Chain A
Amino acid sequence: MSVIELANPSRFLALSGRALPWLAAATVLAFVVGIIQISFAPDDYQQGATVKIMFIHVPAAWLSIFGWLLMSTAALGTLVWRHPLADVAAKAAAPIGSAFTLMCLVTGSLWGRPMWGTYWVWDARLTSVLVLFLMYLGVLALWRTIEDPTQAARAAAVLTLVGAINVPIIKFSVDWWNTLHQPASVLRLGGSTIHPAILVPLIVMAIAFTLLFLTLHLAAMRNEIMRRRVRSMMMLQAAASSES
């Protein structure tokens, strides 16, 4: 079976329909394991129990960027190959990515207040993530503004690829500028600086959140295909009523 055949919407619906229950079950299982591990994870010697916020904040932050990278890859599919399933993948990822970015901002703010003494500071990391959130909202607005899905997909793809410039800025903001936000402590050259007793639950939660993202994305893609079918049928109905 070729990639083009796999990317056929009907075939995608059949395959994703089979994969979705397994993916959902794996997500629930990963969260159960993660939550058990969090309950046994020790407090940080400096931050105390607030380190538990890290188990949701860090995966949300990773997935906010992952969502944009996924949309950027799909944008290439839209602009280069003009494949309608790439449009569907990009559109379905936008609300999910924005939700994870909101989660990152809210949990980070709630972690910042007891540790930094403030909910918010305009440092490079926090501001660049806020910009990411606003760009997600911009893409969502663009999808809603243009009625024709193909035209909307192209406009959203251009905006997504322009917005991808922000991804390395978010990642390296803590190295390029003097920020209140701490530098990278997991994905860094020289290895993680986190003790395994805290690192392992963090990785399990990151896997659980990633599975959740993929499950929701697959379900949202299926919805988007159905939405386009409804739109086609509405157009058929309108054409039939204008003829009669």
Chain B
Amino acid sequence: MMHLGPHAAFIVTAYAAAIAIIAGLVAWIVLDQRHLARMLEEFEARGITRRSGRTDGQKW
């Protein structure tokens, strides 16, 4: 077991904060990706496809 000395609480809190921020960032990106993929699938299921609208110069 690593010995963290008299300031262990500060060290552990700093690492916990870093892990929490990274976990939040990863969770946001993953959930956003799932939400957007679901929306795209729903549009395609309804017959609305991006390529059908590209004749008017849309980039995406």
Q: Are B40 and A233 in contact (CB under 8 A)?
A: yes
How far is A52 from B14 in the complex, measured between Cα atoms in Å? Answer: 10
Q: Are A223 and B21 in contact (CB under 8 A)?
A: no
**Interface residue A106 (Cβ < 8 Å from any Cβ of B):** yes
**Interface residue A227 (Cβ < 8 Å from any Cβ of B):** yes
Q: Which of A95-151 contact B (CB under 8 A)?
A: 95-96, 99, 102-103, 106-107, 110-111, 113-114
**Interface residue A178 (Cβ < 8 Å from any Cβ of B):** no
How far is A220 from B36 in the complex, measured between Cα atoms in Å? Answer: 12
Q: Which residues of B contact A (CB under 8 A)?
A: 2-8, 10-11, 13-15, 17-18, 21-22, 24-26, 28-29, 32-33, 36-37, 39-40, 43, 46, 48-50, 52-53, 58-60
Whole-angstrom distance between the Cβ of B45 and the nearest chain A Cβ: 11
Q: Are A236 and B52 in contact (CB under 8 A)?
A: yes
Q: Are A43 and B5 in contact (CB under 8 A)?
A: yes
Q: Are A226 and B40 in contact (CB under 8 A)?
A: yes
How far is A96 from B10 in the complex, measured between Cα atoms in Å? Answer: 24
| Residues in B neighbouring A93, C-beta threshold 8 A | none
| Residues in B neighbouring A227, C-beta threshold 8 A | 36
Whole-angstrom distance between the Cβ of A74 and the nearest chain B Cβ: 16
B-contact bits for A224-244, CB 8 A (1 contact / 0 none): 011111111101110010000
Q: Which residues of A contact B (CB under 8 A)?
A: 9, 39, 43, 48-50, 52-53, 56-57, 60, 84, 95-96, 99, 102-103, 106-107, 110-111, 113-114, 212, 216, 219-220, 222-223, 225-233, 235-237, 240
Whole-angstrom distance between the Cβ of A91 and the nearest chain B Cβ: 12
Given contacts A50-B7, A237-B43, is CB(A232)–CB(B53) below 8 Å?
yes
Chain A: which residue is nearest B2 at the CB level? A39
How far is A237 from B37 in the complex, measured between Cα atoms in Å? Answer: 17
Q: Are A110 and B10 in contact (CB under 8 A)?
A: yes
| Residues in A neighbouring B7, C-beta threshold 8 A | 48-50, 114
| Residues in A neighbouring B2, C-beta threshold 8 A | 39, 49
Chain B: which residue is nearest A218 at the CB level? B29
Interface centre among A223, A231, A233 (most CB of B within 10 A): A233
Q: Are B59 and A237 in contact (CB under 8 A)?
A: no
Interface centre among B8, B11, B48 (most CB of A within 10 A): B11
| Residues in A neighbouring B53, C-beta threshold 8 A | 232-233, 235-236
